[in-house]
Amino acid sequence: MQIKLVHTADIHLKREDPFRLNILSWIISKTKELADGLIIAGDLFENNTEASFLRGSVREIFEKIQNLPIFIVPGNHDYSSYSPDTFYGENVVVFNSPAFHIIPGGMRIIGIPFKPGYDFSTLIEKIKINPDTDIVITHGTLYDRESSRIYTELGEDAKYMPVYKWDIENKMRYLALGHYHSRFIHLTYGKTQVVYPGSPVATSKRATGMRYLALGHFKRSEPVRIERIPVEISPYWKKIEWMVFPGKEEKVVKKIEKDIQKARGTKTMLDGHIKGSIAISEIDFREKIREIEQKYQNEFKLLELQIEVSYWTDILKNPTIASFVEKLEKVNRDDSVKQRALELTLSALEKLRA
């Protein structure tokens, strides 16, 4: 017998962004279409206050489709939102403490809720986990060489509920994680499949690219198969950087407009950064960029162009410097490296002139 489960996390519902409730409703409908149940691996709500205000709306969404089991673990933002007296629907299982729930196919779902000051190792030490059958849900930070991007990007938030490789490798069938928002991550530790689905909502500019759900196919004696399911209604950030060199301003302006034309989309939130150095009027350059922004802003969910350029004047009239800039542009190196070389050279010359 095969069981299919959708896995999501970090929706961070809050009143100031009511569209997130629409995304939750879409997830419920998509789960009913594709799977037998839904896992929410923490931070369904932004905080306990938001949970108090939105609980009724969430319960209504959960109950609109009958007989769809929903499994929730609290995360670091909403760990106090699920007291025994709160009700989220007859079909909802909330793991307020480490526990298990038997599902068809001879498998178990084990929920390990976030608990301040604790690591994953401590919370699972008294639980017998079957590596051949058990699906574990938790909310925390995976610490391992393969996942260094996760804890580096999380920064201060990486301290919440550490999960280490030796706690999971070959010790469970599937680990459904929440806490990392930016992108979908699927890792394998022996026979254990580990997934961060990323937030289905673009919670910050770091959450770039299409948003996804994880769809797990579980069948005893067969490897777990994981699919990425696009969250088609969710807007997402796309980041583009452009580097401008003195004397090449017009060429870069044309490239910016061309790239923006390619990136157009009603679900796209474009985070554009224009870096480098210019030799023309800074006012004129900014005006050209603002014209592009105004021309295309209605073709995006959101369009933001940040101008982060340095302005160089008389020094670039020197033919030696002009020749250096021309040769530097032709060097087969990353633009950011070339820009840094230019900045160091021009800064040094300015100091010599002082």
Q: Are residues 50 and 170 in the same domain?
A: yes
CATH number at residue 109: 3.60.21.10
Tell me, what amino acid is at 125?
E
Q: Rounded distance, CA 194 to CA 203, Å?
A: 22
- The single-letter DSSP state of residue 124 is H
Tell me the pLDDT band of 350, cut-offs 50, 70 and 90: low
What is residue 147's predicted lDDT score, i.e. its pLDDT? Answer: 75
pLDDT higher than 70, residue 267:
yes
Q: How far is CA 27 from CA 6, 13, 39, in A?
A: 9, 13, 11
- Domain-ending residue, one of 213, 230, 247: 230
Token pair listed for 347: 């800064």
Sheet holding 185-189, edge to edge: 99-103, 107-112, 134-139, 174-178, 192-196, 185-189
- Domain-ending residue, one of 192, 214, 230: 230
Q: Are residues 141 and 221 in the same domain?
A: yes
What is residue 145's predicted lDDT score, i.e. its pLDDT? Answer: 79
What torsion do the CA atoms of 259, 263, 269, 274 make, to the nearest 10 degrees?
A: -10
What is residue 245's predicted lDDT score, i.e. its pLDDT? Answer: 80
What is residue 41's predicted lDDT score, i.e. its pLDDT? Answer: 97
Q: For residues 64-86, b (16+ Cβ closer than 10 Å) or e, as one string?
A: ebeebbbbbbbbbbbbebbeeee
Q: Rounded distance, CA 4 to CA 7, Å?
A: 10
Q: What is the mean pLDDT of the chain?
A: 90
Q: Rounded distance, CA 292 to CA 263, Å?
A: 13
What is residue 353's predicted lDDT score, i.e. its pLDDT? Answer: 55
Q: Number of folded domains in the chain?
A: 2
Q: Are residues 132 and 186 in the same domain?
A: yes
13 or 338, which is more confident: 13
Residues 5-58: tens digit of each pLDDT: 999 999 999 999 999 999 999 999 999 999 999 999 999 999 999 999 999 999
354 or 296, which is more confident: 296
Residue 270 backbone class (left: φ over 0; alpha: ψ -120 to 50; beta: rest): beta
86 or 346, which is more confident: 86
Residues 77-88: tens digit of each pLDDT: 999 999 888 889
Q: Rounded distance, CA 248 to CA 143, Å?
A: 44
What is residue 280's predicted lDDT score, i.e. its pLDDT? Answer: 87
Q: Are residues 70 and 198 in the same domain?
A: yes
96 within 8 A of 82, measured Cβ to Cβ: yes
- Domain-ending residue, one of 200, 230, 260: 230
Strands (E) located in 79-161: 92-94, 99-103, 107-112, 134-139, 141-143
Q: Are residues 133 and 26 in the same domain?
A: yes
Question: What percentage of residues in the chain have a pLDDT greater than 70?
Answer: 96
What is residue 157's predicted lDDT score, i.e. its pLDDT? Answer: 77
What is residue 352's predicted lDDT score, i.e. its pLDDT? Answer: 63
* Average of per-residue pLDDT across 179-199: 95
Residues 206-243: tens digit of each pLDDT: 889 999 999 999 988 788 999 999 999 999 999 999 98
What is residue 60's predicted lDDT score, i.e. its pLDDT? Answer: 94
Residue 62 backbone class (left: φ over 0; alpha: ψ -120 to 50; beta: rest): alpha
Q: Are residues 75 and 172 in the same domain?
A: yes
Q: Are residues 28 and 47 in the same domain?
A: yes
164 within 8 A of 140, measured Cβ to Cβ: no
Q: Are residues 114 and 203 in the same domain?
A: yes
* Average of per-residue pLDDT across 310-315: 69
Question: What percentage of residues in the chain have a pLDDT greater than 90?
Answer: 64
What is residue 215's predicted lDDT score, i.e. its pLDDT? Answer: 98
Q: Are residues 168 and 211 in the same domain?
A: yes
Q: Rounded distance, CA 226 to CA 7, Å?
A: 10
Q: Are residues 223 and 249 in the same domain?
A: no
Q: Are residues 329 and 194 in the same domain?
A: no
Q: Helices 249-263 & 282-296, crossing angle to 10 degrees?
A: 20
What's the domain range around 25? 2-230
Token pair listed for 274: 């224009």
pLDDT higher than 90, residue 150:
no
What torsion do the CA atoms of 161, 162, 167, 170 make, to the nearest 10 degrees?
A: 100
pLDDT higher than 70, residue 347:
no
What is residue 314's predicted lDDT score, i.e. its pLDDT? Answer: 61
Q: Are residues 161 and 310 in the same domain?
A: no
* Average of per-residue pLDDT across 188-212: 94
Length of the chain: 354
Q: Which phi and psi (to 5°) does residue 307 adopt?
A: -100, 115
Residues 99-133: tens digit of each pLDDT: 889 888 889 999 999 999 899 999 998 899 999 99
